[in-house]
Amino acid sequence: MIDIIEKTRDGRPLSSDDIQRLVEGTVDGRWPDYQLAAWLMAVVCRGLTEEETFQLTGAMAFSSGRPEPLGLVDKHSTGGVGDKTTLVLAPLMASLGYPMAKMSGRGLGHTGGTLDKLESIPGFQVELPLETIRRQVEQVGVAVVAQSRDLAPADRRFYALRDVTGTVNQPSLIASSIMSKKLAAGTPHLVLDVKVGNGAFMTDVEPARELARLMVSIGRYYGRKVTALLTRMQQPLGWAVGNAIEVNEAADCLKGQGPADLREEVLALAAELIHLVTQERVATAWQRAATALDQGKAWEVFGRWVRAQGGDMAAVERGLPLAPVHRVWRAEESGIIRQVNTRAVGEVALILGAGRHRLDDPVDPAVGLRVYLKVGRRVAAGDVLAEVFAESEDHAERALKTLAGTVEWGDPGNVPELVLGRVSSEDSR
């Protein structure tokens, strides 16, 4: 391990044998945390070559073997505020005949987690045995579950160390972490939703594009069809931010209602996945997905999915209950929204109890907010800017005070599109 640390520290590429030894020792505990932390810091300081990144990803992905794929398509988001696309996209793809088995995570910090949203549905189970997942995908066409403990175990250890050693923001480490889990799941078609903006992990377009290119290249190296969309996170996606409140909004979207930007992003992701599987034109695929959404086919699959994982679908149909203290923030004067501090909006959800600072923190499924803050929106005095659902007056008051500082007023000029760019494994062919 000392040789591996010194090679990376000095900028000398690791061989495939070096990387295999690194990963094996990480999984079996041979290398102590302090040596792994030293190597991670060396990577941050000196970087990895593309070939090293490919080899590291593969070694982490296949340390437990190469499983049969559970689904035909998969999706990964780098995380944002109000990002509930999986709740709509997964049943939509299944309704079109493209089964999706997705392993998701929990929210940490200002970004929400898909598992937390699903667990706000009474009875919904996210921990399922492999054979149950496989059977459910065959019968229903969709399963969204917690990540298996046997899936890319080296990444779990690396990620925990990166989180406490200041080594998170390194492109090769980010890409290998994400793609090792996706390769380990075996799914042949993958769309990556790379968020860009002040509510995302990547705040600028070009670094996000480079990360997308690297992840797409990894997928192509291992024979997977991958497309990455760069999507705007300069404002919350949709209106709802929280857990139960986001499930309710996803249900609205599945029934042809709800915010336009959520629908737009879901259809963009669906069209890319359909294109990867069938090679039909993206525009044609988009229209086919839109028709399935409008006809209620995805909503029907959503109901079967929720019931299959033990969830109370009747509760969803009624609308999941929200916290009892309801406060409204209204505009004091007319104006145009120039900019939204999206990260701060996500932190309001933390104040209310919808998120967590540490992975073992409890989450309140009923609290949350609806924010009608869209860049370029023209508002009049008295218009509703946000609604807060809290468990106490104190929490509601703190949330409203924080929200008041999340908006800058003025002419924003040209408002960028929701989809800022596209990177595909087909681009270099």
What are the residue ranges spanned by the domains of the chain? 2-47, 73-150+163-174+184-316+418-424, 321-409
Q: Quick one: pLDDT at residue 108? A: 66
CATH fold for the domain made of 321-409: Aldehyde Oxidoreductase; domain 3 (3.90.1170)
Q: What is the mean pLDDT of residues 384-395?
A: 97
pTM: 0.93
What top-level class would CATH report for the domain 73-150+163-174+184-316+418-424? alpha beta
pLDDT, tens digit, for every residue of 99-145?
999 988 777 667 778 999 999 999 999 999 888 999 999 999 999 99
Give me 26's structure tokens. 């990480």
Q: Which of 62-71, 119-128, 192-201, 415-424 has the lowest mean pLDDT?
A: 62-71
The three state secondary structure string of the chain is: CHHHHHHHHCCCCCCHHHHHHHHHHHHHCCCCHHHHHHHHHHHHHHCCCHHHHHHHHHHHHCCCCCCCCCCCEEEEECCCCCCCHHHHHHHHHHHCCCCEEEEECCCECCECCHHHHHHCCCCCCCCCCHHHHHHHHHHCCEEEEECCCCCCHHHHHHHHHHHHHCCCCCHHHHHHHHHHHHHHHCCCEEEEEEEECCCCCECCHHHHHHHHHHHHHHHHHCCCEEEEEEEECCCCCCCEEECHHHHHHHHHHHCCCCCHHHHHHHHHHHHHHHHHHHCCCHHHHHHHHHHHHHCCHHHHHHHHHHHHCCCCHHHHHHCCCCCCEEEEEECCCCEEEEEECHHHHHHHHHHHCCCCCCCCCCCCCCCEEEECCCCCCEECCCCEEEEEEECCHHHHHHHHHHHCCCEEECCCCCCCCCEEEEEECCCCC
Give me 160's structure tokens. 């925990």
Q: What is the mean pLDDT of residues 26-50?
A: 97
| Residue 429 or 424, more confident | 424
Catalytic annotation on 18? no
Q: What is the mean pLDDT of residues 320-346?
A: 97
Catalytic annotation on 162? yes
Q: What is the share, in percent, of the chain residues with pLDDT greater than 70?
A: 99
Q: Given 18, 74, 75, 76, which residue is catalytic?
A: 76
CA 79 distance to own-chain centroid: 4
Domains 73-150+163-174+184-316+418-424 and 321-409 alike in fold: no
pLDDT band for position 359 (50/70/90)? low
The average confidence (pLDDT) of the chain is: 94
Q: Quick one: pLDDT at residue 332? A: 94
Sort residue 354 into left (φ over 0), alpha (ψ -120 to 50) or beta: alpha
Q: Given 155, 193, 252, 261, which residue is catalytic?
A: 155
Q: What is the mean pLDDT of residues 85-107?
A: 93
| Residue 248 or 168, more confident | 248
Catalytic annotation on 401? no
Q: Quick one: pLDDT at residue 315? A: 98
Q: Given 102, 110, 162, 189, which residue is catalytic?
A: 162
Q: Quick one: pLDDT at residue 429? A: 42
Q: Given 181, 195, 370, 395, which residue is catalytic?
A: 181
Examine the pLDDT at 220 and tell me if it is beyond 80.
yes
Catalytic annotation on 135? no
Catalytic annotation on 155? yes
Examine the pLDDT at 153 and tell me if it is beyond 90.
no
What CATH number does domain 2-47 carry, 3.40.640.10, 1.20.970.10, 3.40.50.620, 3.40.50.1110?
1.20.970.10
